[in-house]
Chain A
Amino acid sequence: MISIILFALLLIGGIGLFSFNVLKVRNNILLGRSTERSDNSSERWKTMLLVAFGQQKMFSRPLPALLHLAIYAAFVITQIELIEIFIDGLTGSHRIFHEALGGFYTFVISFIEILSLLALIATVAFLARRNMLKLPRLNMKELAGWPKQDANLILIMEIVLVCCIFTMNGADEAWLNLAENGSKSYGFAISSLIGPAIFGGMDAHSLHLLEQIGWWGHIIMVFAFLNYLPYSKHFHILLAFPNTYYSNLEPKGKFTNMESVTNEVKLMLDPTADPFAVPADGGGEQMRFGAKDVTDLTWKNLLDAYTCTECGRCTSSCPANITGKKLSPRKIMMDTRDRLTEVGDNIRKHGKDYSDGKSLLGDYISEEEIWACTSCNACVQECPVNIDPLSIIVDLRRFLVMEESKMPTELTGMLTNIENNGAPWQFSPNDRLNWANED
């Protein structure tokens, strides 16, 4: 009975705390500006199924994709076993589905065991890759400190989780294998072999204790993991789904149209317009052009930031980064997330209008970084969960250029040329057709 109460408390506490933190993240994301992403739902479901559920873009790099798939599949399939754990925990039963499902139960648990073993191998491989192989994209400056610890912690938690599953099943198998129980077996693919082999010498009482340690260890890890997610890059396991659903479905080359600018340009070009007239919308709060801080970005940019799991495929394909420039698209996403967390905490602590005098541009992302971008879309293409670092870079540029008139001097010249000559170079517009008369 005590264990049932303990379990219920763990369940309520674990899910309650998680919901509280998810709500916090949701509120942070909704600090962003609006953008329309709810059209064309059939295309959106398709994108989510292919990219998030089907991991389509991961497979541009096959080996890590396979290892990742093993962990992903184990994670998804293990949720079935979790249902049983919940029911067992709340009713005090033991393997409640075993009798009802019979052979199918053995098959499901065996399937979970095989996937768990593959996941264990993949996790160890990922740990080795991160810490021994020194893959460049996993050892960059922006990962120093917490991000690296975060990554290792997740992998270690996964190992503990898998070990708990095998302890639980293995102890159960060893117990059933005891002579006093008739030397039977559940027939689980892996634990029926390793259970008796490892725990074979133990008595019934110790085996029962061990099974309980595995069972409780597993469920405690599940809740610990769940509640770790909102603080971690690992949140991608959940956010990948909404993030791909709300993907940008337009061609990658299309930059957003700024309607606030359209209205002003129309006024400028309209000879009958009265420049001093009160705007039709009553001249509500003036929005800043472009983005200086996270609240100037769209909610999708902010969802992107929480979805990023810092894999660095964007950065490793970025022409600026490859050639040694400071720009790293991954850092753009990490900075956006970290600044958003800070802004969200500030608002909760000090109220909506509080300003800490800091901003995304300047305190987190430097001008040098955003001017190094060639807008080539390689980062957008590479992201396995359809994150768009480029649109953040462009919005930061828009703020610098349109609000602060700050840009590399050559660009000032280029823009003047366009305005005066209709070309980025200093040629007379009257000479535009000269080529037709040259040899």
Chain B
Amino acid sequence: MQVPTMAEMMAKGETPDVLFWVGCAGSFDDRAKKITKAVVKILNHCNVSFAVLGTEESCTGDPAKRAGNEFTFQMQAMMNIQVLNGYEVKKIVTACPHCFNTLKNEYPELGGEYEVIHHTQLIQDLINTGKLALKDGGVFKGKKITFHDPCYLGRANNVFDAPRELIEKLDAELVEMKRCKTKGLCCGAGGAQMFKEAEKGNKEVNIERTEDALETKASIIATGCPFCNTMMTDGVKNFEKESEIKVLDVAELIANAAEL
């Protein structure tokens, strides 16, 4: 897989149009790595001039900030900003809404100002400008797909349409859960919950959310966040429905549909 790094590009005297911020989940989590690869396939297929930071990338500091540790967050942010500004990065795309939110909203005050977009927005743009074409009657034709809004993409940053428009491009039937868009229910991973046990209660949040998804009778739960993906996948497994219902990132749906 062809994945140029910023260091390699710089050595060749080139500057990519966009930096692909992979994120910790996208780099290390086995399930999320597949999403990362789907994004790269799309970028390569469309000849997008991009690069990754590779080993120079480090956690944005999002989970530290949500957990209340502003020191760790700002240490991470300042180090990343040094690297990003060093490469004179102007535009960043990321497949993780947590990285997206942090880079877009919380880095500017620390000296890191970039145009930051979510991968669904980039893919939408590629399709709209004709750089990526999906065949009619693709693999998802007529399938019921529901979209789970990641909190840090939807409510936090008002991106609701890009992922939905992509799903509609698949010739699939987009079915909404009873709680969707601004009223979408969290998967349970945000605010650093991903890294700890939940407090005592009578249910796990991801089970509550998976029930919403099962109610739609969709055969695919689409999402746009590696953490939501984990939580929904676990939820589906809990109901022993993993053979009937797939949890896929929108990037994976598009890469599949485009036969990449």
Asked whether B74 is an interface residue with its Cβ less than 8 Å from the other chain, the reply is: yes
Asked whether A132 is an interface residue with its Cβ less than 8 Å from the other chain, the reply is: no
Does the CB pair B28–A374 fall under 8 Å? no
> Within 8 Å CB of B207, what residues of A?
323
Tell whether A410 pairs with B196 under 8 Å between CB atoms, given A262-B74, A323-B201, A323-B205: yes
Interface residues of B in 131-183 (CB under 8 A from A): 151-152, 155-158, 182-183
Tell whether A408 pairs with B68 under 8 Å between CB atoms, given A254-B101, A374-B188, A423-B24: no
Does the CB pair A60–B33 fall under 8 Å? no
Secondary structure call for the A interface: helix
Asked whether A251 is an interface residue with its Cβ less than 8 Å from the other chain, the reply is: yes
> Within 8 Å CB of B190, what residues of A?
374-376
Does the CB pair A398–B57 fall under 8 Å? no
Does the CB pair A423–B28 fall under 8 Å? yes
Tell whether A402 pairs with B69 under 8 Å between CB atoms, given A414-B63, A429-B55, A432-B57: yes
Asked whether B110 is an interface residue with its Cβ less than 8 Å from the other chain, the reply is: yes
Q: In the bound complex, how far is the Cα of B236 from the Cα of A349, in angstroms?
A: 58
Asked whether B19 is an interface residue with its Cβ less than 8 Å from the other chain, the reply is: no
Tell whether A258 pairs with B54 under 8 Å between CB atoms, given A265-B75, A374-B151, A374-B186: no
Q: In the bound complex, how far is the Cα of B59 from the Cα of A15, in angstroms?
A: 57
- Distance of A405 from chain B, by nearest CB (Å): 10
Q: Pick from A261, A411, A433: contact of B195, CB below 8 A.
A: A411
Does the CB pair A261–B208 fall under 8 Å? no
Q: Which of A152-160, A237-245, A324-332, A339-347 contacts B (4 or more CB under 8 A)?
A: A324-332
Q: In the bound complex, how far is the Cα of B109 from the Cα of A436, in angstroms?
A: 32
Does the CB pair A261–B28 fall under 8 Å? no
Query: In the complex, what residue of chain A is closest to B24 when comparing beta carbons?
Result: A423
Does the CB pair B72–A418 fall under 8 Å? yes
Does the CB pair B64–A324 fall under 8 Å? no
Asked whether B10 is an interface residue with its Cβ less than 8 Å from the other chain, the reply is: no
Q: In the bound complex, how far is the Cα of B76 from the Cα of A415, in angstroms?
A: 11
Does the CB pair A255–B59 fall under 8 Å? no
Q: In the bound complex, how far is the Cα of B82 from the Cα of A269, in angstroms?
A: 11
Q: Pick from B36, B78, B193: contact of A374, CB below 8 A.
A: B193
Asked whether B189 is an interface residue with its Cβ less than 8 Å from the other chain, the reply is: yes
- Distance of A428 from chain B, by nearest CB (Å): 9
> Within 8 Å CB of A320, what residues of B?
199, 201, 205
Interface string of B195-209 (1 = CB under 8 A from A): 111111111110111
Asked whether A264 is an interface residue with its Cβ less than 8 Å from the other chain, the reply is: yes
Does the CB pair B68–A400 fall under 8 Å? yes
Does the CB pair B27–A432 fall under 8 Å? yes
Q: In the bound complex, how far is the Cα of B70 from the Cα of A399, in angstroms?
A: 10
Does the CB pair B186–A376 fall under 8 Å? yes
Does the CB pair B37–A290 fall under 8 Å? no
Asked whether B254 is an interface residue with its Cβ less than 8 Å from the other chain, the reply is: no
Q: Pick from A250, A254, A410: contact of B197, CB below 8 A.
A: A410
Does the CB pair B185–A378 fall under 8 Å? yes
- Distance of B194 from chain A, by nearest CB (Å): 8
Does the CB pair B106–A377 fall under 8 Å? no
Interface residues of A in 362-387 (CB under 8 A from B): 368, 371-378, 380-381
Q: In the bound complex, how far is the Cα of B196 from the Cα of A325, in angstroms?
A: 15
Does the CB pair B205–A257 fall under 8 Å? no
Number of interface residues of A (CB under 8 A): 70
Tell whether A371 pairs with B199 under 8 Å between CB atoms, given A265-B71, A401-B67, A418-B59: yes
Does the CB pair A319–B106 fall under 8 Å? no
> Within 8 Å CB of A375, what residues of B?
66, 151, 190-192
Tell whether A289 pairs with B70 under 8 Å between CB atoms, given A254-B105, A324-B202: yes
A262, A430, A437 — which one has the most chain B CB atoms within 10 A of its CB?
Answer: A262
- Distance of B158 from chain A, by nearest CB (Å): 7
Does the CB pair A435–B36 fall under 8 Å? yes
Asked whether B58 is an interface residue with its Cβ less than 8 Å from the other chain, the reply is: yes
Asked whether B256 is an interface residue with its Cβ less than 8 Å from the other chain, the reply is: no
Does the CB pair B151–A266 fall under 8 Å? no
Asked whether A83 is an interface residue with its Cβ less than 8 Å from the other chain, the reply is: no
Asked whether A419 is an interface residue with its Cβ less than 8 Å from the other chain, the reply is: yes
> Within 8 Å CB of A410, what residues of B?
195-197
Q: In the bound complex, how far is the Cα of B101 from the Cα of A253, in angstroms?
A: 6
Interface residues of A in 143-170 (CB under 8 A from B): none
Does the CB pair B59–A423 fall under 8 Å? yes
Asked whether A252 is an interface residue with its Cβ less than 8 Å from the other chain, the reply is: yes
Q: In the bound complex, how far is the Cα of B101 from the Cα of A355, in angstroms?
A: 40
Tell whether A269 pairs with B78 under 8 Å between CB atoms, given A261-B70, A423-B28: yes
26 contacts between A and B (CB under 8 A): A251-B105, A253-B152, A254-B106, A255-B66, A261-B74, A319-B208, A323-B188, A324-B203, A325-B198, A325-B199, A325-B200, A374-B151, A374-B186, A378-B151, A397-B68, A398-B68, A400-B68, A401-B69, A411-B67, A411-B195, A414-B67, A418-B72, A427-B28, A432-B22, A434-B27, A435-B22
Given contacts A325-B198, A422-B76, A424-B63, 12 further A-B contacts (CB under 8 A): A255-B66, A255-B106, A257-B106, A323-B198, A375-B66, A377-B151, A378-B183, A402-B68, A410-B195, A422-B57, A424-B194, A435-B22
User: Closest 10 CB pairs between A and B?
Assistant: A253-B156, A397-B68, A375-B191, A324-B202, A422-B58, A324-B201, A376-B186, A254-B105, A401-B68, A253-B101
